[in-house]
Amino acid sequence: MANYFSLILVALTLITGLIWLVDSLVFAPKRKARLQAASTAENAGYGEDPQLPYMVDTAQQIFPVIAFVLVLRSFLYEPFQIPSGSMMPTLLVGDFILVEKFAYGVKDPVFRSKLIETGAPERGDVVVFKYPEDTGIDYIKRVVGMPGDTVVYQNKQVFIKPKCTDKNNCPKLEAVPLSFQERGEFVQDMAQLMRYTESLGDIEHDILRHPMRDISPVNFYTQPGTRRNEWIVPEGHYFVLGDNRDNSRDSRFWGFVPDENLVGKAVAIWVSFEFERKQEDVLPSWIPTGIRFERVGGIH
């Protein structure tokens, strides 16, 4: 859907800009010449054109607005809405976020070819990307594994062995540090979720664990040459997980995110709505019940 909107913006920008350009080069000079010929010394005002066609006038009015939106959305920042709880507690349903489009390269809005290299994801980044199994869908997860890493998920614990750059001194597989915070703030399936702080390099963020639900390794994506709960991240790809670890369909199930699928880095929550209506409420469920002002700010 997001890609369709980009195509519509590009098409409207080209059409309205072309109408304005053709009129400026071909028809506007002719109208001005006719106006000057019909004018008298008492009736000046040659700069005005009362005969401006409706289509041209409309194109001149909306072209700057559409072009501005296209540039802003395609190359700078794009708004997204969080539709599910897979990134709780970092992101909640009803959060509206801004995604920095130029964080991982400037891409054209139609074919998504990288035009300018501006950077690459870092471990711990929250990224929006095109779902590898259906690129028409946008997903949001956290980068856990970098190209060349070995990632193991065992007993609800993430283990990482970074890419070996020195064969004489290769890093070992180590558990990602965790510290327990609380239990009970979030409830799922009538169970109080456990909240931990996880440290991915310099990035500290909170995750949730379900005390009873355990995603079985037999359901995981199986990579040739590895165990069922082990993945070696290919070059040019990333391993991503949801922060709500027992309620997220992520790289454990469908594999890796190619670099070309990256949309951008989630950097801020600009508004957050509550949707807590009861079934007996008259108003429809999509109308917010409140605004969570305390959630507005940066994403970690």
> Could you give all domains of the chain from N- to C-terminal order, each with its CATH number?
2-41+49-76 (no CATH), 82-298 (2.10.109.10)
Q: Is the pLDDT of residue 202 over 90?
A: no
DSSP string, 176-224: PPEEEEEEEEEEETTEEEEEEEEEETTEEEEEEE-SS----GGGSPPPT
To the question of pTM greater than 0.85 for the whole model, the response is: no
Exactly one of 6, 74, 86, 248 is catalytic; which is it? Answer: 86
Rounded to an integer, the average pLDDT of 69-91 is 91
Catalytic, 272? Answer: no
Portion of the chain with pLDDT greater than 70, in percent: 92
Q: Is the pLDDT of residue 51 over 60?
A: yes
- pLDDT of 213: 78
- pLDDT of 143: 98
- pLDDT of 3: 62
Q: 73-82, 207-216, 287-296: which has the minimum mean pLDDT?
A: 207-216
Single out the residue of 238, 263, 237, 270 nearest to residue 3, CA to CA: 263
Rounded to an integer, the average pLDDT of 93-108 is 93
- pLDDT of 215: 67
Question: Mind listing the pLDDT tens digit for each residue in 29-44?
Answer: 888 887 777 765 445 4
- pLDDT of 2: 54
- pLDDT of 41: 45
Exactly one of 101, 107, 130, 141 is catalytic; which is it? Answer: 141
The 10 Å CB-count burial string (b at 16+, else e) for 159-180 is: bbbbeeeeeeeeeeeeebeeee
Environment class of residue 268 by beta-carbon count within 10 Å: exposed (0-12), middle (13-18) or buried (19+)? middle
CA distance 138 to 80: 9
Question: Mind listing the pLDDT tens digit for each residue in 233-263?
Answer: 999 999 999 999 999 999 999 999 999 999 9
Helices (H) then strands (E): counts for the chain:
4, 18
Portion of the chain with pLDDT greater than 90, in percent: 52
Neighbour count for residue 198 (Cβ, 10 Å):
21
For the chain, the average pLDDT equals: 87
CA distance 136 to 150: 29
Q: Tokens for 289?
A: 């019940």
* Residue 241, CA distances (Å) to 2, 20, 171 in order: 22, 47, 22
- pLDDT of 94: 92
Catalytic, 216? Answer: no
Rounded to an integer, the average pLDDT of 69-74 is 84
Q: Tokens for 100?
A: 């920095």
Rounded to an integer, the average pLDDT of 158-168 is 88
